Each structure stands twice: as structure tokens, then as C-alpha cells.
Amino acid sequence: MNALRLFIPLLLAALAGCSGVPQKPDEKLVKQPGYTDRYIARDTSRTVDLTHPPTDAWERIRRGFAIPNMDTALTQQWTDYYASHPESMYRMTQRAGKYLYYVIEEINRRGLPTELALLPFVESAYNPTALSSARAAGLWQFVPATGTQFNLKQDWWLDERRDPVASTNAALDYLEYLFDMQGDWYLALASYNWGEGSVRRAMDKNSNAGLATDYLSLNMPDETRNYVPKLQAIKNILANPQKYAVTLPPVSNTPYFVTVRKNKDMDVSLAAKLAEMPEEEFKALNPSFNRPIIRGEHSPALLLPADRLERFNANIEAYEGELSTWKVYSAQKGESFASIAQRHGVSESVLRSVNGVAGLKRTAAAQTLLVPGKNNVQLASLETPSEAVEAVSSSRTRAVVVVPANRNPRNKPNVRTHRVKNGDTLFGIAQKYNTSVDALRALNNMKGKNASLKIGSSLRIPGTNVRG
């Protein structure tokens, strides 16, 4: 009887310890530094050397690994897959370089595992303009409803699901919420991919059948079943790239971009010119804008490379032209598109094309329309110098904008050049000037991946005031 009395309290204590998040960690867990209620796994591929600061962003990520390693056949399968595509891995990690510092900084500020900085590799290949068949968009692939739930604005002018800063903050808010609910990172990640309700129902189904409710025991769709193994595979390679013969591009442990707020309308193409950077690079940092104009009334936050801020400010101060060649018109219900076009001196076909209006629709609703300024828009069929035309695309528009010749800053800056020598490659030149091969191709109008370098020719290099 005395033995029974002693056994019952021990049994109750054991059962209490099995519910929810363990109040006392087992031997596989250690307390996370700086937190009283968070534990991390010992086996995480974490590398810690506190005798010196991290040399780059990759080392900083490795130091913060805190999610238990998953060693399964699926993990090995995906590790082999990514390792067998080193060029794709390089492009993906190079693309991530623009955003990694901000993502890691925010993860560290919240005390979260740095494996989460690798999640956009799985979600979008770190492409902020990625759009899935389920209409999930951006680095973190928010569907419209979840984006709205986490205050990501989605309207005619912009989609913050594609904003690197806003979407990162929303994704980490969501992941924190899911972890607090599940108490397990595998289940939290499954919930992020499949939906918290779906994961909960799968867990309840297993529980009612007397089965385990951990990630590996649940009956999940293939995408979710492969989700954590993919993340673990990326982690395996980044933890030890030499082992898998994968080369990682240099990513500095310093801010890549800074934020600038403007209160006047400005063309996207002009903003890129004032920052002295290719428009595609500007759009890669500012992919949330749906239109070729940035609205000042929205007080938008423009992201610029840190080394372009002074140039942008100096150029915009010296600039004497109009900041925008577009007009915003509030159409009244029942107004014909023909009359609106005539009033603004543009063809109806251009007005319809710019605003994505179907040909059968003759009158406007009470809606906002974008109207090109006079002489700044032509149809794509007209002959126009290639340097003066910029195609502006979105899911609802396709317009061709002709940039006026007098839209340069007052003082034309020097353009950096590099004279091609024997043995030069685009990759080597890009590395020398801290730019990308794509930027070099765009700036020098090099068509096709097989475009060759001619010894003695001059290449324009992104950036100004320095000649190579």
C-alpha cells in the first residue's frame, strides 16, 4: 500500500511532464541563452565560436541553428538532390544575399532558430516575385487570406506579400504564433505549409486512433511530408558546403539595403536611374509595387543598396524634371473609356492596356485609372529606340513607357568601365566589382547566356564616379 501511494504521485508528475511543452527538458535539450522558457536541441549542426564575430552571413546562420536535425530517407534524398545541382544552389543563395542580413537580424532579435532564415529557399528559392498556382506570393509565399490576416496590404497599387521587409516580419509573427501553439518546430513548420487547422485535425485523428502525433507520424500531403526534409537538406549543405562540393557566394554580415521614405509620386524607372542601378535590381529590392508609379500619398518605404543612398539623395536634389510621367485619374461610374482617353490626349487602346481593361467593357466603374502623360507612351508596334523603352508588367497590366530624353539629373555622372583582358569572364568581373552577372548583362545589353567577351572592349559596370 505504501509503495502504491509513492507510485501514484510519481505517475501524475510524469503525465504532467508529457503534456504540452516540457517544463523540464530531457538530456537532448539545453536552455537557449537569454531565455528562461525556450530550449534548443543539442544535435542541430550548430557551430559556436564566441572568440570572434561571425565572418559572414552564412557563419552567423550556422551559429544560430536550434531546431533538431531530422535524419530520414527523405532528408537524404533531398540533400542529394540539392547537392547534385550546385549551379542552382549558387544562383539561389546569390539571390538570397540581398535579403539575408535583414532576415537574420530580425530572427536574432526575436530569439528564434536561424533555420527559419533558410525557409524562403524552400518556399520561393528566395525569389520575392514568386507566385504559386495557389496564388501564394513573395519570399515567404503568403496566400491572400493569410497575408490579410497578418496585415500585408494587397491592393491595385501594391502587394506587400512581395515586400521583403513587411513579408519577413509577417512570416516570423506567424511562425512564432504556430510554435507557441504547437510547442514543436516540426509541427509549426507543417502548419505554416499545410495550415494550422489541417495539422490539428491530423493530430486529433492520430490521437483518437491511439497513434503518435509527431510530425513523422502524421498522414500529410506529399508537399508537407517533404517540407521539413527539404529544409533540413538545405541546412545540411549550408552547415558543411565543402562536404557536398557546393560553393556559396560571399554574403557580408552587414546591411545590404537601407530604407528611404518619399512623399511624392515617382516613376519606378526614374527611381532606379536616380539610384544609378539597373531597374531590375531596383525591382528586386522593391517588388511590391504593382504599377510603374510609386504613390507618394502611401508614404512608401523604398529599399536601396546601402552604397547607393548618397548617390540617390544627391541625384534627386539635383534633378529638375518631373518625378512622374503618370497621372492618377478617379473615374466616375458610367464614364466611357473613349471619353477619358480623349480628355487626356491618349488613345483608348493605350488607356485600356495600361489599366488592364477588357475590350468589351465600354464604361468605367467608380475606379482609379493610371493615365500616361502626353508623348510618353507609344504602342509596342511603333519603332522606338530600345534604350528609351521600358516594359512594365504586372498581373493586370502591360504597358510600354517611353522615357523622355531630358529626364537625367543635371550633372551626368561618370560611368564605371572595365576593359576586357585575355582570360576575363563575366563571373570574374562581377566578383571584382561586387555586382552580379545578370546586372552586367543588363547594363551592357548582352543577349543570351552565350554572349562572349571581346578582348579590348569596354564593359559598363554598375555604379559611378569610379573608372575600372
Residue where the block lists cell 490626349: 345
- Helices (H) and strands (E) in the chain — how many of each? 19, 12
Q: How many CA atoms lie within 13 A of 94 on its CB side?
A: 19
Phi (first) and psi of residue 295, to 5 degrees: -80, 125
* Residues recorded for the chain: 468
Is the distance from CB of 89 to CB of 10 less than 8 angstroms? no
Which residues are CB-neighbours of 259 under 8 A, at least 6 positions away? 165, 301, 302, 303, 304
Q: Which of 123, 160, 276, 281 is catalytic?
A: 123
Residues 292 and 386: their CA atoms lie apart, in Å, by 18
Q: Under DSSP, is residue 298 helix (H, G, I), strand (E, B) or coil?
A: helix
Grid cell 506579400 in the structure block, residue: 161
- DSSP output for 342-355: HHHTS-HHHHHHHH
- In whole angstroms, what separates CA 7 from the centre of its chain? 55
DSSP for 431-454, please give it. HHTT--HHHHHHHTT--STTPPPP
Q: How far is CA 234 from CA 79, 119, 244, 451, in A?
A: 7, 9, 11, 32
Residue 123 annotated in active site:
yes
The residues annotated as belonging to the active site are 123
